Amino acid sequence: MTQEERWLAKYNEIMAFMAENHRRQSKYYMEERNNWNWMRHQQKLMGRGELKAERVELFERLMRVCEEYKHVNQYK
């Protein structure tokens, strides 16, 4: 499996998780922590301009989906 295939597999895994559970990955659940770390690392790469050009559009789409499931403080 190439690096590109692994990246796309992780991307699809996270998108499927959000579609199924209607929420983002959590750093507090050990089974979700790996995917949460992957997303944070990709955000850092994108911020530094080191994310590959073909991945930027896909990752931006992932971040838009994440915004839909952003946690809202119920006690505001």
Residue 45: strand, helix, or coil: helix
CB 56 within 8 A of CB 66: no
What is the structure's pLDDT at 76? Answer: 60
Asked whether the predicted pLDDT for residue 74 surpasses 80, the reply is: no
- This prediction has a pTM of 0.85
- Closest Cα to residue 52, out of 19, 9, 22, 7? 7
What is the structure's pLDDT at 71? Answer: 75
Task: Give CA–CA dist 54/72, Å, rounded.
Answer: 32
Task: Give CA–CA dist 32/27, Å, rounded.
Answer: 7
